[in-house]
Structure 1
Amino acid sequence: MVIGLIETILNRNKEIAFSFDLELFEQQSQRAHMKRLAIDTCIAFLGRTISQSEFRVKDGSNLIKDELYYRLNVRPNKNMTSSTFWETFVHKLVYDNEGLIIQADDGDLLIADDFEHNEYAVYEDTFTNVMVKDFTFKRLFPQSKVIHLRYRNERLSPLIDSIFADYGDLFGKLLNSHKRKNQLRGTVDIESNKAKDDETMAKLQSYINKMYKAFSENDIAIVPQQPGFKYNETSSNKGSTSGLSVDEINKVTDGFLNQVAMALGIPLTLISGSMADVEKHTKNYMKFTVNPLTKKLQDESNVKFFTMDEYLAGKRIEIKTMSYQSIFELATSIDKLVSSGAFTGNEMRLEAGYEKSADPKLDKHYITKNYQEMDTDEGGENK
């Protein structure tokens, strides 16, 4: 009944109907692009870091370069390089909170785009309906034959969605407010002797559209007056420079990005490119974010590629992450460790990320400093 009454009033007075057609209220946008930008920025940053790691297949202290080494570090499958492969896997692992790698009949390592995880209490978990791109495997994959990781105990997406609910609302309101800051507003007077029928209203709307186009597309616009139509500008902020700035909108975007980065354990200074305390933040990022993730991947790889007897005999996979310091920056520290006799040259080479040298001299301990034992007066030189 209420709707019918409104329609009756609008039909009687076309001026009121015309004012409703202007759509003065705009529906709020979800601003989903801000969410995608923040998530993709953080996950891609973490993925690029992991993709620079080296998967070392070792037998004791010896580095083995076999087919497994080649697939993990060079060409996992026919369509991907190792860097692209691991970056893609980290993206799926973090975004979906679960990642699955299967091995095809020809030995290729494939990242599953979708799968069903069948969990059991005392039996081995299985994976069915494993989909890679547009192909679905019909067979069942047991847990012992795949690389399967969870990123964290709970999914990250509900947390990010709840954060975005507030930031997205604020971002949308600030953006709309900024759009209205210098918006042109005006009224059009119609002479009383002009008939306000549909034809007249159509001409009026066409006139307004032409004025809007002239103002929006030209720095200087001259609009001729129409007989019976008079345009009056009523913008309250005409000539004013006060109001919302773009920096305030950017602060909201940075605030949401900061929350997502915090959830992933990534210092915002590294993402934003700030030069303040880069080494300190990089060290914390590698220690508390990258290394725990590579430890998960390393443990899972050792379980799936080697038996318990092989692992205990010294066969294993070690993941060497990217170094944020060069050997030239570590030269003084390496010299002190070797010259004090605490470590051999080969031990330092392995710690710095290089293979052992075949020179037997680098397996010996040397003391090149004038050290002496406590509670003795004898120095390092013979008296």
Structure 2
Amino acid sequence: MGFFDFFKHEPTRVETDGKALESRNQQRVLFSDYISGMKTDTAFKAYALQICINHIANAIVKCDFNTLTRGKNDSGTVWYQLNVEPNQNQNAADFWNKVIEQMVMNEDGALVVQSDSGELLVADSFTVREYAYKPNSYAYVSINGFTVQRIFYEQDVFHLKLNNSKVKAIFDSIYNEYGTFLNGAIRNYNRSNALKFALEIDATFDQLKTKPVLDEKGEQVIKDGIPLTEYDDVIDDMFENRLKPVFSDKDSVTPFESGLHLNDLNATGNSKSSGSAANKTTRDISAMFEDIINMVADAFSIPRGLLKGDTADVDGMTDNFIAFCINPIVEQIEDEINRKLYGKDNVLKHTYCRIKTDRIRNFDITKLASSAELMSRIGALSINDILEYLNREPIDEDWANKHVMSKNYALIEDALKGGENNEENQDNV
């Protein structure tokens, strides 16, 4: 049974069991735990993973999903679904972004199913049972909050997994250790930038300890079981009210009694700063976060410089990115589409889908001119082939699809005979 036929058969109902529901609920909160996490360490990790997902997904979106029928381009319904509109609620960019996100975040990979109307949908969560000698089965498939109560089999779905599907789990384990250093750097930064003052009290102010605070009846006020003095009253007012403007971000003037002095503990003789919050940077934190970015980049075979936006050797990094990161993912998507959607018989007859990664790179027409002219001159590309590389509309003329060759080129055997033919021609003259 082909991919586009699997909704036509009678659905198989499945019973709900606690273990499956628990697994499904865990998958549902997967993205909220990572992408919308409120903890600092989770946010750093989620941001690093999201950068990689965006780079991979953006590259996949740039690819052209070519569909061929007996070796010739056929831009039909399948081409439209894969390149423009997989379903009524998503365009191709949103669709493939969600596929890549599921492939990275879910150890079981991404699952693509088809609706009754033939639309392609990406499952938010599912449970899978893998077998050795019969097709794998997929149950509890949830899409946008709706759970499909059917069992799907391997030939009925597109199941896409990263070759290094355990990479996120491994990265989580590494980060659990490395995250302690990052949290320590954040604490040190907060501690270094915190305002720290000492209230110096000399003998002049100590004299207030002998002056009791009296109530309206002339009796000493008792607070928390302790007789209250003017010393206690001033100190309480100092910490509860007067020092608040000092630590605010606004200009303020705070009165101090004689005998009280406020000293900045961070303004030491060994420090280059003039106060508590001066000359403190986040360099340690940013350096550690850069290490996290590098870890994720290495895990997904993305050049570090490309992930961080370096401008040096962009062409070389892009080539490595396509070769070692994008091409393996593209080949898996291509193989899954061809074996499930087209089948062996069609593929052997050159009716299949071919994903072209050429458009990931941005071509400069001035740099491409000499190469395009050479490829056209030797008959490798037609005019429309070159226009396709440039992402321009083809020319609707027969001559634009023809392959031409310069007369300067000939077969070796013809070239070797050229001298003898020339001598004969000269004799005839």
- Given the two structures, how large is their TM-score scaled by the length of structure 1? 0.80
Q: Distance in 1 between matches of 2:198 and 2:326?
A: 60
- Given that 2:195 and 2:247 are in contact with CA atoms closer than 8 Å, whether structure 1 keeps it comes out as no
Q: Kindly tell me: are residues 351 and 373 of structure 1, through their superposed partners in 2, closer, same or farther at Cα, counting changes over 3 Å?
A: farther
2: CA distance between counterparts of 1:215 and 1:31?
32
Provide Cα deviations, 1:146-185, integer angstroms capped at 9, x if missing partner.
Answer: 0001112442222221332243222222222222224332
Question: What is the CA RMSD across the aligned residues, in angstroms?
Answer: 3.3
How far does the alpha carbon of each residue in 1:118-164 deviate from its partner, in whole angstroms, 9 at most, with x for none? 11110111101101121101111111010001112442222221332
Distance in 2, Cα, partners of 1:359 & 1:35:
55
Residue correspondence of structure 1 range 89-238 to structure 2 within 5 A: 89-97=99-107, 98-188=109-199, 189=201, 191=206, 192-193=209-210, 198=224, 204=235, 207-218=238-249, 220-225=251-256, 230-237=260-267
Partner of 1:18: none
Gaps of 5+ in 1: 1-28
**SS, match of residue 307 in structure 1:** helix
Distance of 1:42 and 1:74 partners within structure 2: 23
Residue range with higher mean Cα deviation, 278-287 or 161-170: 161-170
Paired residues of 1:30 and 1:169 also in contact (CA < 8 A): no
AA aligned opposite 1:316: Y
Change over 3 Å in CA distance of 1:106–1:331 after alignment to 2: same
1:186/1:349 Cα in 2 relative to 1: closer, same or farther (>3 Å)? closer
Q: In structure 2, the residue corresponding to 1:319 is in which secondary structure? A: strand
**Cα deviations across residues 43-86 of structure 1 (Å, max 9, x unaligned)?**
12211111222212111332212222221111111211111110
Q: Structure 2 unaligned runs (5+)?
A: 1-38, 213-221
Distance 1:89 1:36 in 2: 17
Percent identical pairs in the alignment equals 24
Distance 1:226 1:324 in 2: 71
**Counterparts of 1:212 and 1:326 in 2: how far apart (Å)?**
63
**1:240 equivalent among 267, 272, 286:** 272
Q: Report the count of equivalent residues.
A: 353
- Of residues 255, 259, 265, the one that matches 2:301 is 265
Q: Aligned-pair distance for 1:267?
A: 1.6
Instruction: Please tell me whether Structure 1 or Structure 2 has the larger radius of gyration of its CA atoms.
Output: 2
Map of 1:300-379 to 2, 5 A cutoff? Answer: 300-321=336-357, 322-326=359-363, 328=365, 329-341=367-379, 343-345=380-382, 348-349=385-386, 352=389, 359=398, 362-369=401-408, 373=412, 376=416, 378=418
- Work out the CA distance in 2 between the residues paired with 1:86 and 1:103: 15
Paired amino acid for 2:319 = K
The two structures have a TM-score, normalised by structure 2, of 0.72
**2:318 matched residue in structure 1:** 282
- Hey, what's the Cα distance between the residues in 1 that align with 2:285 and 2:405? 61
193 and 48 in structure 1: CA distance in 2 versus 1, 3 angstrom threshold: farther
Segment of structure 1 superposing worse, 169-178 or 126-135:
169-178
Change (3 A) 1:358 1:187: same
